[in-house]
Amino acid sequence: MENIRERKPIPLLGEEFPYMKVQTSHGIMELPKAYSGKWFILFSHPGDFTPVCTTEFVAFQNRYNKFKSLNCELIGLSVDQVFSHIKWVEWIYEKLGVEIQFPIIADTGEVAEKLGLIHPGKGTNTVRAVFIVDDKAKIRIILYYPQELGRNIDEIIRAVEAMQVSDKYNVALPANWPNNELVKDHVIIPPAKDVVTAKSRLEKAKVGEFECYDWWFCHKKL
C-alpha cells in the first residue's frame, strides 16, 4: 500500500493554480497564463473513446457558449496522447455532429500528479476531476467523481455563476440556488460578526431591506 506521507500535496481551495506548460490538442499552452483575466475549468476524464467521457464532452461543448458568457473557458485532460485526442474529437464530429472547440491536455502524468487526478483505489486512469479557477488564477472549487459516474454539467455552470455572484455582491448562495426551497432565488447575507450588526439586521428587515428568519439568517433578492 502506498505510504500517504510520500504523496505530494495537491492544490487547495483559495490557492493559486500551479504553473504548468502543457501539450494540448490546440498546441502548447501555459497555465494559468493562457487564461489571464478569465475564469477557466480544467476537467479530467479517464480516457478517450469511452462512452461516458464522450457524453460529457458533448455536454460541455453544447454549453460552451454559456460558459463563455460567464467569461469562463474550458480545457479537458487525460493521460492519452495528443493524436488520440485529435482522432477522438474527429470521431465525435463525424459520428455525432458536435465540434469540440476547447483544447484537451495530453498529460504525461505530471499534471495528474500535481492535481491529484489519479486515485489508486479507482485504477490507473485519471478520475473525473473538476477545477474551477477564477480570473485571478485562484482555485475556487474542486470536485472529484469516480470513473463510473458522469458529471452534471449544468451544476458546474451553476457553481461558476454562484461564485461570480458571491464575489460581486459579497453574499452566500443557498442550497439549489436559484431555486431554494426556503428563500427561492434570494441570496444569503453573511452572518453578523458583532452585536451591533446583529441588531441592525432585524431593523433593516423591518424596513424591507432584508428578509430574516432571525438575525443570523437573513436573505434578500438581488
Give residue 3's pLDDT: 47
- Is there a shared CATH topology between the 4-151 domain and the 170-222 domain? no
CA 58, CA 133: separation in Å to the nearest integer?
Answer: 22
CA distance linking residue 42 with residue 24, whole number of Å: 12
Q: Which of 53, 72, 212, 218 is catalytic?
A: 53
Using the structure block, give the residue that is written with the C-alpha cell 490507473.
Answer: 124
Nearest 10 degrees: CA dihedral of 116, 119, 125, 128?
-70
**pLDDT at res. 7:** 58
pLDDT at 128: 86
Residues 60-109 have pLDDT tens digits of: 999 999 999 999 999 999 988 999 999 999 999 999 999 999 999 998 88
The DSSP code for 71 is: T
Count of helix runs (H) and strand runs (E) in the chain: 6, 10
Is residue 53 part of the annotated active site? The answer reads yes
Which ranges of the chain have pLDDT less than 50? 1-5
Output the nine-digit C-alpha cell for 19.
504553473
**DSSP symbols for 137-162:** SBEEEEEEE-TTS---HHHHHHHHHH
Domain ranges of the chain: 4-151, 170-222
Question: Which pLDDT score is estimated for 1?
Answer: 42
In this structure, are residues 76 and 24 in contact, taking their beta carbons and an 8 Å threshold?
no
β-sheet bridge partners, residue 211 = 219
CA distance 76 to 131: 10
- Give the architecture (CATH level 2) of 170-222: 2-Layer Sandwich (3.30)
CATH 3.20.20.140 at 4-151, yes or no: no
**Residue 2: per-residue pLDDT:** 46
Q: Residue 139: its pLDDT value, please? A: 97
